Amino acid sequence: MPDQSGYAVGWGSLALINAGLAQGKGRSGLAWFLISLLLGPLATLLIVVLPAPGVEARPLRRSEWAVLGVILVALVVIAVVGLLGMSVRGASVVGG
């Protein structure tokens, strides 16, 4: 089994970054740190997209919708590649 500690370090680092982003927008850093441990990059997307507390939300511009679309497509591609990679690795293990 390959060493998975690099993933844990990256995921934890992302959670810390998200906590800082959330605090910068006037949200609870601890709450978003914990949410980020569960949701990872999706939490980053939520922090960036959701307006800061007390700020009136405005409609998104076309360019902002385009950026969101690219991010969502990238997340789907990453998920699919990850799932395919896991199934290929599991199927290719032959013998001992």
| pLDDT above 90 for 34 | yes
Question: pLDDT of 44-71, one tens digit each?
Answer: 888 888 888 888 877 878 888 888 888 7
With a CB cutoff of 8 Å and minimum separation 6, the contacts of 30 are 19
Task: Clarify whether residues 73 and 45 are in a common domain.
Answer: no
Q: Which of 18-22, 38-42, 78-82 has the lowest mean pLDDT?
A: 78-82
Q: How many domains does the chain have?
A: 2
The predicted pLDDT at position 90 comes to 57
User: Is 4 in the same domain as 35?
Assistant: yes
Verify that 44 and 90 share a domain, yes or no: no
* pLDDT at residue 86 is higher than 80: no
- Predicted confidence (pLDDT) per residue in 67-84, tens digit: 888 878 887 888 788 777
Together in a domain, 50 and 5: yes
Please list, in sequence order, all residues whose beta carbon lies within 8 angstroms of the beta carbon of residue 83, skipping any fewer than 6 positions away.
none
Task: Record the pTM.
Answer: 0.60
- Band of residue 30 on the pLDDT scale cut at 50, 70, 90: very high
pLDDT top residue among 89 and 84: 84
> Whole domain around residue 80: which residue ranges?
59-96
Residues 3 and 47 in one domain: yes
